[in-house]
Amino acid sequence: MKHYLQFTDLTADEYAYLFSRAALIKHKFKSYEKHHPLVDRTLAMIFEKASTRTRVSFEAGMYQLGGSVVHLTTGDSQLGRSEPIEDSAKVISRMVDLVMIRTYGQDKINSFATNSRVPVINGLTNEFHPCQILADLFTFIEQRGQVNHPLQCLQGKVVAWVGDGNNMANTWLQAADLLGFTVHVSTPSGYEIDPAVAGLSSHNCFKVFKDPMQACQGADLVTTDVWTSMGYEAENEARKQAFADWCVDTDMMDVAKPDALFMHCLPAHRGEEVTAEVIDGPQSVVWDEAENRMHVQKALMEYLLLGRQ
């Protein structure tokens, strides 16, 4: 049994399969062709933090695969009344085939997985957001690569990360380490990445830049995220001041490669981490990126339950 708790839980070879499979599943969806490999299977989705994309993409995706879903939040389940995570895992995993969790610490999802009889998927923790990077890479491959050799177009590419050293940044580092590209990271001081969290095999997969303009120089992809992640709302005002120079604007896009893409996992705050001109501009692929969450997660759920098809 496989869990998907962080990006490193799958190999490069498994990613190559998943990207090809996601392309096929997306094609079927666009052609109104039925694809029901998960009939009679149930996904439990547990949300301890808010969500739009993760909820809709997993829920719609599971129904499209022929399965069904159960939606739980902290407020409407015993999770909010301190039932131990281990007990919740033992009970929930006797009744469903697959579990997706969005929570705070990675330790919590790890404990759930340890006590689960079924595969567990990370739908975002404070440390990682692997499903989002899965979608981001698939979006890059769609734009720049070939479905038959999906990983090839990533080799040697530069991804500029502008902003917080957060769950998205950590997951980009893991992906770069595994799939052979480089992340140029620029964060305000006090909000740096911690490579130990990502658990990298080497530090060759990233370079740190004080100046976000330098991080964007020659990049194939420029990407950012909210200044304040969920769970850190108390730091909002301090972060607004610290991050003021880390707004992705046309000056940053202009020093990147002429065909550089812009991505953002969303939700976005125009005028904070990105200007409206950039996110709504011609280099932005944020809507494909959001839609692709559903296609890659359908491939992931099918793979975790049924293996290669």
Q: Residue 142 corresponds to which tokens in the numbers above?
A: 């769609």
Neighbours of 190 (CB within 10 A): 10
Specify whether the CB–CB gap between 157 and 199 falls below 8 A.
Answer: no
Secondary structure of 103-154 as H, E, C letters? CCCHHHHHHHHHCCCCCEEECCCCCCCHHHHHHHHHHHHHHHCCCCCCCHHH
Give the contacts of 20 (CB within 8 A, at least 6 positions apart). 147, 148, 150
146 binding ligand CP? (CB under 6 A): no
52's contact among ligand CP, ligand NVA, none, with CB below 5 to 8 A by partner kind, is ligand CP
264 binding ligand CP? (CB under 6 A): no
Q: How far is the CB of 302 from ligand NVA (least distance, A)?
A: 23
The span from the CA of 212 to the CA of 161, in Å, is: 8
The span from the CA of 230 to the CA of 117, in Å, is: 29
60 binding ligand CP? (CB under 6 A): no
Backbone angles phi, psi at 23, to 5 degrees: -65, -40
274's contact among ligand CP, ligand NVA, none, with CB below 5 to 8 A by partner kind, is none
265 binding ligand CP? (CB under 6 A): yes
Stretches 114-122, 205-213, 216-224, 263-271: which one binds ligand CP (CB under 6 A)?
263-271
Stretches 21-29, 203-211, 223-231, 293-301: which one binds ligand NVA (CB under 6 A)?
223-231
Identify whether 265 is a catalytic site residue: yes
225 binding ligand NVA? (CB under 6 A): yes
Task: Give the binding site for ligand NVA (CB under 6 A).
Answer: 124, 166-168, 225-226, 229-230, 265
The catalytic site residues sit at 102, 129, 132, 225, 265, 293
Q: Which residues bind ligand CP (CB under 6 A)?
A: 51-54, 124, 132, 265-267
